[in-house]
Chains A and B, each alone.
Chain A
Amino acid sequence: MAQYADIIEIVASAEASQGSRVDITVRIKNTYSSAIGIMVGGALEYGLSPWPGISFAGPTSNVAGGVTHSFSGYFTMPEKRVTIHAYSYYYGADGSWHFDDEMTKTIDVTEEIESQFGSIEILSYSRR
Chain B
Amino acid sequence: MGAVYLPSQFGLLLLPLANVQVKPGDKLRITCRYSHVGQADSQPLYAAIGNDGWAGFNEVLHGSKTISVPEDTSWDYHEEYVDITITTAISAGFYDLYAKIGGTFPKVISPSLLDVVEVLAEIPDSEFGEISITDYVKV
Contact of A128 among B21, B29, B47, B98 (CB under 8 A): B29
Give the distance in Å from the alpha carbon of A50 to the alpha carbon of B72 in the complex.
Answer: 37
Give the distance in Å from the alpha carbon of A94 to the alpha carbon of B19 in the complex.
Answer: 91
Majority secondary structure of chain B interface residues (helix, strand, loop or mixed): strand
Give the distance in Å from the alpha carbon of A97 to the alpha carbon of B28 in the complex.
Answer: 75
Chain B residues within an 8 Å CB radius of A124 = 29-31
Chain A residues within an 8 Å CB radius of B113 = 122, 125
Contact A113 B83 (CB under 8 A): no
Q: Contacts A122-B98, A128-B28: A117 and B79 contacting too (C-beta < 8 A)? A: no
Majority secondary structure of chain A interface residues (helix, strand, loop or mixed): strand
User: Given contacts A115-B36, A117-B43, A123-B79, could you give 5 more A-B pairs where the C-beta distance is less than 8 Å?
Assistant: A114-B38, A118-B36, A119-B34, A124-B31, A126-B28
B interface vs A, CB < 8 Å?
Answer: 20-22, 26-41, 43, 47, 69, 73, 75, 79, 83, 97-102, 107-111, 113, 116-117
